[in-house]
Chains A and B, each alone.
Chain A
Amino acid sequence: MSSILEINNLSLSFGGVKALQDVSFRVPENTVTTVIGPNGAGKTSLFNCISGFYKPQQGTIRYQGNVLADIKPPARAAMGLARTFQNIALFRGMTVLDNIKLGAHVHMKSGLLGSLAYFGAARREEMAVRKHVEQHIIDFLEIDHIRRQPVASLSYGLQKRVELARALAMRPKVLMLDEPVAGMNREEKEDMARFILDIREQWGVTVLMVEHDMGMVMDISDHIAVLNFGQVIAEGLPAEVQNNPQVIEAYLGTSDMDSLRKKLNPEREVA
């Protein structure tokens, strides 16, 4: 399977702090690829590089075979890279519907004069977008009952879903999700997992996630990369990564209490 996104030897530092060191991995097309690792491992910095907010000191990012060099974030959006944030980044002054329609901004064309006049091309475009959003996104994510509500009044779980909806309105090829189920209860997590899988299946989108919930990660990921202290320590199928001793050491741990006790008390014999 070809890689839609290729990270090659990416290095990023802020002053003396090395956020990413020589990071390389691939994101195969039409998969759910997850980046895992302890906090501070550099996962969000990685996302920020792909989005175009940080400029890495070294290395390249290839998207669909082409190097993303000095392309600014708005242009990357037009190319099909969409993203959600760890802290919800919805526009609090707008309704759910308006937020989602904003996702389609980059695919719309009305300019200032058209907007001022409204009746005519701008209106037609608005209606077309509205129809697309309603039929494909709002129904799909089951948020039709809240579409006119201001986002500030929604629960956390629903806000995350609206953020996902907005990202989908960008008609992305690669959808980057930064901790999509953080802070959700079990039911919400199951819903979100279902949505992510449906997105991959029905929309043909490649999902690149950062996530901590190992159960969910192992369940739905096709491909995993493990980051620790800014370096990739493992990459591959969930089963491979799960059993990788380095990964276990750094992050996952085992359910083996004996080895844990031995580690904590090396001299004492355990009865």
Chain B
Amino acid sequence: MDWLFFGEISLAGLAMGGLYALIGLGFVIIYKATRVINFAIGEIMMFAAYLFLTFAGGMEMSPWVALPLAVLGGSVLGGVIEKVMIRPMLGESPIAVVMVTIGIASILVGLVEMIWGADPQLLPGFLPRKPVFIGEMYLAPKIAYGFLIGAALLIVYLLYFRFSRGGVALRATASDQAAAYSMGINVRRVFNLAWVFGSLAASLAGVLVAATGGLSPQFGAIGLSVLVVVIVGGLDSIVGALVAGVFIGWLETVAGAYLGGEYRMPATFAVLAVILVLRPYGLFGTHEIERV
């Protein structure tokens, strides 16, 4: 057993997992605050990555300007989606809202293909190119630095939610909307902010993942892996998104390396199947007790 190789693969997998954790976090924020399962999260990520492509590529801005702009664009998209398409569905059955997000995903894919074309694209490089070594193990620089940026945002988010007023408001609204409303929390604003923040996290992760793996209108398929991440972790658990994200990212990379690229998705699905049978509410999710 080549431990060095395994170690390198694992490192790469964990780094990828960090990005998955970030996307998962974005999803969980939206779900926790608004109870919406956002099937379009992969497509929002994709949109932000394409924005980066235009800003840094076509418009030749410095990548360090293009990146925040692209992330901003993705966040705005999330906010607009919430205001225009999710808000009117308030009070409708959760199934209907989910179907709206499915429709939104379809629209975004079509839009992206129309504006940018169907061919795969490469993002302009912006991460340092020096190879990274941890001990003897080599880690591709794009992945390593991508992970660091993603992790930085993750930490900012966690601190924000724990300590700031906005973060407390989000958590309050998540646990009890009516009570939060009567405490003077502007629930509609919180809903919108949840989508903005969730999309922000997803957008950053989107640009970073695209920087590593390339971009095409099929990029949104990563959303499927994200769905598995949040199911394994628990739809409303931040900790779960982190743990599951890292795990699934690692598993996919290892499966891809040892079994072949086509086996990445089946490996993820195997985990999905196992979790559905053993712990359907996820490792850290709350099992809602329905009041009869």
> Which residue on B lies nearest to A83, using beta carbons?
B292
Q: Taking the complex as formed, is A53 at the interface, i.e. its CB lies under 8 A from any CB of chain B?
A: yes
Q: Taking the complex as formed, is B289 at the interface, i.e. its CB lies under 8 A from any CB of chain A?
A: yes
A44 and B292: CB pair below 8 A? yes
**What residues of A have a CB within 8 angstroms of the CB of B292 in the complex?**
44, 48, 51, 53, 85
Residues 31-69 of chain A, each 1 if its beta carbon lies under 8 Å from chain B, else 0: 000000000000010001001010000000000000000
A107: min CB distance to chain B, Å:
23
A210: min CB distance to chain B, Å:
13
**What residues of A have a CB within 8 angstroms of the CB of B289 in the complex?**
14
**What residues of B have a CB within 8 angstroms of the CB of A53 in the complex?**
292
> Which residue on A lies nearest to B291, using beta carbons?
A44
Residues 267-292 of chain B, each 1 if its beta carbon lies under 8 Å from chain A, else 0: 00000000000000000000001001
> CA of A44 to CA of B289 in the docked complex: distance in angstroms?
14
> CA of A219 to CA of B289 in the docked complex: distance in angstroms?
36
A7: min CB distance to chain B, Å:
18
> CA of A53 to CA of B289 in the docked complex: distance in angstroms?
10
> CA of A51 to CA of B292 in the docked complex: distance in angstroms?
11
A156: min CB distance to chain B, Å:
19
Residues 4-39 of chain B, each 1 if its beta carbon lies under 8 Å from chain A, else 0: 000000000000000000000000000000000000
Q: How many interface residues does chain B have, given as a range?
A: under 10
Residues 150-192 of chain B, each 1 if its beta carbon lies under 8 Å from chain A, else 0: 0000000000000000000000000000000000000000000
> CA of A53 to CA of B290 in the docked complex: distance in angstroms?
9
> CA of A161 to CA of B292 in the docked complex: distance in angstroms?
19
B175: min CB distance to chain A, Å:
15
> CA of A48 to CA of B290 in the docked complex: distance in angstroms?
11
> Which residue on B lies nearest to A47, using beta carbons?
B292
> Which residue on B lies nearest to A51, using beta carbons?
B292
A109: min CB distance to chain B, Å:
28
A177: min CB distance to chain B, Å:
14
Residues 102-131 of chain A, each 1 if its beta carbon lies under 8 Å from chain B, else 0: 000000000000000000000000000000
**What residues of B have a CB within 8 angstroms of the CB of A44 in the complex?**
292
> CA of A53 to CA of B292 in the docked complex: distance in angstroms?
9
B130: min CB distance to chain A, Å:
53
> CA of A212 to CA of B76 in the docked complex: distance in angstroms?
52
B289: min CB distance to chain A, Å:
7
A71: min CB distance to chain B, Å:
17
B288: min CB distance to chain A, Å:
13
B232: min CB distance to chain A, Å:
25
A76: min CB distance to chain B, Å:
14
B117: min CB distance to chain A, Å:
45
B99: min CB distance to chain A, Å:
17
> CA of A259 to CA of B289 in the docked complex: distance in angstroms?
43
Residues 80-118 of chain A, each 1 if its beta carbon lies under 8 Å from chain B, else 0: 000001000000000000000000000000000000000
**What residues of B have a CB within 8 angstroms of the CB of A14 in the complex?**
289
> CA of A51 to CA of B289 in the docked complex: distance in angstroms?
15
Residues 12-25 of chain A, each 1 if its beta carbon lies under 8 Å from chain B, else 0: 00100000000000
A147: min CB distance to chain B, Å:
26
B286: min CB distance to chain A, Å:
12
> CA of A97 to CA of B289 in the docked complex: distance in angstroms?
31
> Which residue on B lies nearest to A44, using beta carbons?
B292
A230: min CB distance to chain B, Å:
17
> CA of A51 to CA of B290 in the docked complex: distance in angstroms?
14
> Which residue on A lies nearest to B289, using beta carbons?
A14
> Which residue on B lies nearest to A53, using beta carbons?
B292
> CA of A219 to CA of B272 in the docked complex: distance in angstroms?
57
B91: min CB distance to chain A, Å:
14
> Which residue on B lies nearest to A86, using beta carbons?
B292
> CA of A44 to CA of B290 in the docked complex: distance in angstroms?
13
CB within 8 Å of A: which B240-292 residues:
289, 292
CB within 8 Å of A: which B106-135 residues:
none
> CA of A14 to CA of B286 in the docked complex: distance in angstroms?
14
6 contacts between A and B (CB under 8 A): A14-B289, A44-B292, A48-B292, A51-B292, A53-B292, A85-B292
Q: What residues make up the interface of B, taking CB atoms closer than 8 Å to A?
A: 289, 292
Q: Nearest 3 CB-CB pairs, A to B?
A: A48-B292, A53-B292, A85-B292
